Amino acid sequence: MTTIGLIGSGNIGSTVARLAIAAGYDVVLSNSRGPETLAGLVSELGERARAGTTEDAARAGDLVVLTIPLHAYRSAPVEPLAGKIVLDTCNYYPQRDGQIAELDNESTTTSELVQRHLASSTVVKVFNNIYFKHLLSLARPAGAPDRSVLPIAGDDADAKAAVTEFLDRIGYDTVDAGPLAEGWRFQRDTAAYAGLYFGPNGGDLGTPVDAATMRAALAAARRYADATN
């Protein structure tokens, strides 16, 4: 893998881009407003970065990070992403996204919605559960004693292996939470969500999270309906 495409270049997207460039990848950034609005970020990131349309980022990426508000997931270009591994960072916030009945009644999950839209792609859920400042500050070299883990979920073993390799190169170990249907275990309001990296003291630098801690948090997750009964 040599190029990372980014559909969405906000806090998480730009942070993933920084980590990817530091790990030796090229990146193609995009957003909904057009490549010209990314000139400053591209200049800051340097020669390994360029801006394009969402279709450009989709076609160029060996891996493509989808990091847009959930309500816009249908704007992800289907044909250019065919056959690609898509890293889905989306979270459901009804106050922003509007009410989505399938998520409210828990008959599906956010990444399953994305996978349904991108039926010819392979979706892996990742990066949704960590604050962007922590994502940058907690990255560590392989073998570091305080290296953190990120959970992933997906239905394809080869795709998850490719994402695991990417995470390793940008500074993280991986805990496999299972198929996309289990991605709810690290959605908002769960123990494995962003607060885990804040730790007891909070702060922008974050608290390293090891595999045992993450697995315990995933196992402790409860569906909203179960938690209120």
pLDDT at residue 107, as a whole number: 95
Q: Supply 89's token pair.
A: 């960072």
Average pLDDT, the chain: 96
Q: How far apart are the first and last CA of the chain?
A: 46
Domain map of the chain by residue range?
3-227
C-alpha to C-alpha distance for 77 and 161, rounded to whole angstroms? 24
Residue 64 has pLDDT above 60, yes or no: yes
Categorize the per-residue pLDDT at 227 as very low, low, confident or very high, splitting at 50, 70 and 90. very low
Residue 99: what are its φ and ψ, rounded to 5°?
Answer: -75, 130
- What's the topology of domain 3-227? Rossmann fold (3.40.50)
Q: pLDDT tens digits, residue range 119-167?
A: 999 999 999 999 999 999 999 999 999 999 999 999 999 999 999 999 9
Burial of 227 (0-12, 13-18, 19+ CB in 10 A): exposed
**∠ CA 95-180-97, rounded to 5°:** 15
Sheet holding 3-7, edge to edge: 49-51, 26-30, 3-7, 63-66, 85-88, 122-125, 149-154, 173-176
Q: pLDDT tens digits, residue range 32-49?
A: 999 999 999 999 999 999
Q: pLDDT tens digits, residue range 162-205?
A: 999 999 999 999 999 999 999 999 999 999 999 999 988 788 89
Rg (CA), the chain: 17
Instruction: Say what the pTM is.
Output: 0.96
- Candidates 70, 62, 73, 52; CA nearest to 9 is 52
Burial of 41 (0-12, 13-18, 19+ CB in 10 A): middle
